[in-house]
Amino acid sequence: MANPTAAKRPEWKARYVSQVRSLAELAEPLRRQASHVDLDGADRWVALSDGGTGLEDFLRANFPRVEAVILDFYHVAEYVAKLSRVLHPGDADADTHWREATCEELKTSGGRVVLDTLRSLDVTGRGGAESVRAEVMTYFTNQAHRMDYPHDLAQGWQIGSGPVESACKTVIGERMKGGGMRWGEDGADAMSHLRALFCSSDNQWAAFWSKN
């Protein structure tokens, strides 16, 4: 059920940055795009990423007004699903029920509460469950500060990076992973830039060619 008190999300628009470079080299083009859309004029800055090493520090260093770096909900849900499978081997209904209930608890109570739930699980005699639980608990321990989903949803903020995951397929995959295609680094980098322009909102493709 929709939360009637949640803030309304703005219309979704996307500007893509794509290149064959290191994370550090991505900083300048990201800041440039932020300037083009007048990010400084925004009242609040919020970032969303997966749990990749260094991403939160990178975002906070380059966008110092960011007040929250939200952890993509669906990456967290994959960890929940992995644990659920070993807790309920051969019982699809129980697997589905526990996974859905735990994901709902994430949305309504947040990552720290779910971490307490994981600690309290009795995994005695469940083959392989203890090691998987330890892995999932480590992930939650490291990332729980980015799983304040009740607050994020109440603000109307996006908690899933689905549009970004989709863009990996539409911006890059559809053009560069066709049958028989082979790319060198320079060619892949150049095409990545062009695809980012072509697929971005606000007619970025035409704007680029009007200046070049």
Distance, in Å, from the CA atom of 146 to the CA atom of 37, rounded to the nearest integer, reads: 26
- Is 39 domain-assigned? no
Q: What domain count does the chain have? A: 1
**Residue 125 has what pLDDT?**
79
The closest alpha carbon to 98, from 119, 81, 78, belongs to 81
Confidence of residue 166 (pLDDT cuts 50, 70, 90): confident
Is residue 89 situated within a structural domain? yes
Distance, in Å, from the CA atom of 192 to the CA atom of 201, rounded to the nearest integer, reads 16
What is the signed CA dihedral for 29, 30, 32, 36, rounded to 10 degrees? 130
Tell me what the mean pLDDT of segment 50-73 comes to.
95
| pLDDT score of 1 | 47
Within-domain flag for 120: yes
Percentage of residues in the chain with pLDDT exceeding 90? 73
Tell me the two tokens of residue 11. Answer: 């219309």
pLDDT score recorded for residue 39: 93
Pick from 39-43, 89-93, 111-115, 196-200: least confident: 196-200
177 within a domain of the structure (yes/no): no
Residue 9 is predicted with a pLDDT of 61
Q: How many CB atoms lie within 10 A of CB 65?
A: 12
Tell whether 15 is covered by a domain: no
Q: Global pTM?
A: 0.82
State in Å, rounded, how far the first CA of the chain is from the last one. Answer: 49
- Structural domain contains residue 146: yes
Q: Give pLDDT tens digits for 94-136.
A: 999 999 999 999 999 999 999 999 999 998 878 789 999 999 9
Closest CA to 60 of 96, 88, 100, 30: 30
Residue 80 belongs to some domain of the structure: yes
Mean pLDDT of 65-92: 96
Whether 130 is covered by a domain: the verdict is yes
Q: For residue 81, give its domain range.
A: 73-151
